[in-house]
Amino acid sequence: MSQTLVTVDGVPLKVSLARAQRRGKLKAIGLVVPLFLFILVTFFVPILDMLFRSVENQLVGEVMHRTVPLLNNWDEQSGELPSEEVFAALAEDFIEANETKLGGRVGRRLNYEKPGFSGLFRKTTRKAGSLEAPYQQSFIDINQKWGDVENWKIFKRESAPYTISYYLAAVDLGYGETGEIVRNKDDRRIYLKLFWRTVWMSSLITVICLFLAYPIAYLLSALPTRKSNLLIILVLLPFWTSLLVRTTAWIALLQQEGVINDLIVWLGFVADDNRLSMIHNRTGTIIAMVHILLPFMVLPLYSVMKTIPPSYMKAAKSLGATPFTAFVRIYMPNTVAGIGAGAILVFILSIGYYITPALVGGQSGTLISNFIAFHMSSSLNWGLAAALGAILLAIVLILYFLYDRIVGIDNMKLG
């Protein structure tokens, strides 16, 4: 008969090992939990909140809680105004909204769909105490817009707890007179152009950073350690100054009376009365952002190039390959991991930048992120800002998926 192995204190060895493994797992989980909670609170929760705000529309139904249930039974295709019962319920809701000070918020929400609702609700809220039967005529006496069936159609449509109106506006679409989805007028189509401009400029910035960073990273990897460390400090030097300071410095350099234009005029390339316009346009945005994002391309490339043995190139040359052939066939394929890491990093950072384009971009150099910030801080249309942010997130995820299918995310390395 086999004897059961036990520890010094008499516990079976199998049980003791299981306890030790369980304690080790609990310790590992305890170390991971703080990081998991941090990522959950600072990353996933804001994204989920943004996605929810892009479709959330409960304000109208909560404030106008008497009117909305009755309005849902109204036949909007009849061409007639809602019944007197709906107007009576609306009067009670306005009296309550005047006390809670929420009438203006409802008007501002509906004003996103059609200008004029904000002033209409403010005026009606102030005069809510004077409303009396017949309520339909009382509302029309306050403002003729209450007699417009189209306004009531918008009121009914946007009283639902969830809406796609923000996403429609984010892609330059809207509702027609009969409720169908139509394209906005030419003078109101701005967001699709901004999305295209953002993707195009971010791609261009990524390509320029790659062409500039590749020889720098190659030089860093080929130099002795002492010299390469010194040059790396120079690469990292911009990180030691504020982003706002660097952007402001480019304003001083790129303006028509700036240092770069003065140098070009002094060298005789352009006349003094024909100075280059390099600020408050796309040119200024591209130059400033390339300068800011260049280190994010250099470092991944350098970390990968440093691991490539020099013997690879020597072996290729010894087998008859020219330096150019050896570089293209041997060295460059080994740097694909660094190229992918740097390109993804620079592209994602540039697609969400808004400080630099806001300061140096002007009208033609601003990106979609500038309009997201505008709707968050100025127009207070958080739903539209969330919808624009969700679409931008979807674009990044699609490009990330395509990169994984073409190059392979497993080939992306930072070192």
Banded pLDDT at 286 (limits 50, 70, 90):
very high
Percentage of residues in the chain having pLDDT higher than 70: 96
Banded pLDDT at 384 (limits 50, 70, 90):
very high
Per-residue pLDDT at 2 exceeds 80? no
Task: Write out the two tokens for 135.
Answer: 């309520």
Banded pLDDT at 1 (limits 50, 70, 90):
very low
Per-residue pLDDT at 415 exceeds 70? no
Banded pLDDT at 413 (limits 50, 70, 90):
low
Sequence-ordered list of residues with C-beta below 8 angstroms from that of 145, at least 6 positions apart, any chain? 116, 120, 151
Give 241-282 pLDDT, tens digit per residue: 888 888 888 888 888 888 888 888 888 888 888 888 888 888
Strand-pair category, 181-183 with 173-175:
antiparallel
Give 314-341 pLDDT, tens digit per residue: 888 888 888 888 888 888 888 888 888 8
Q: How far apart are CA 403 and CA 207, in angstroms?
A: 15
**In 3-state terms, what secondary structure has residue 62?**
helix
Q: How far apart are CA 396 and CA 376, in angstroms?
A: 21
Give 132-151 pLDDT, tens digit per residue: 888 999 999 999 999 999 99
Supply the pLDDT for residue 336: 85
Give 148-194 pLDDT, tens digit per residue: 999 999 999 999 999 999 999 999 998 887 778 889 888 888 999 99
Query: Which residues sit opposite 181 in a β-bridge?
Result: 175
Q: How far apart are CA 264 and CA 253, in angstroms?
A: 12
What are the CB-based long-range contacts (under 8 Å, 24+) for 277-280? 278/254, 279/250, 279/251, 279/254, 279/255, 279/360, 279/362, 280/360, 280/361, 280/362, 280/363, 280/365
Find out whether 350 and 289 touch, Cβ atoms under 8 Å: yes
Give 74-89 pLDDT, tens digit per residue: 988 888 899 999 999 9
Of residues 239, 243, 219, 214, the one with CA closest to residue 229: 219
Q: How far apart are CA 54 and CA 168, in angstroms?
A: 11
Banded pLDDT at 208 (limits 50, 70, 90):
very high
Averaged pLDDT, 210-221? 92
When mean pLDDT is compared across 122-126, 289-293, 305-309, 411-415, the lowest value belongs to 411-415
Supply the pLDDT for residue 409: 66
pTM exceeding 0.95: no
Per-residue pLDDT at 92 exceeds 70? yes
**In 3-state terms, what secondary structure has residue 282?**
helix
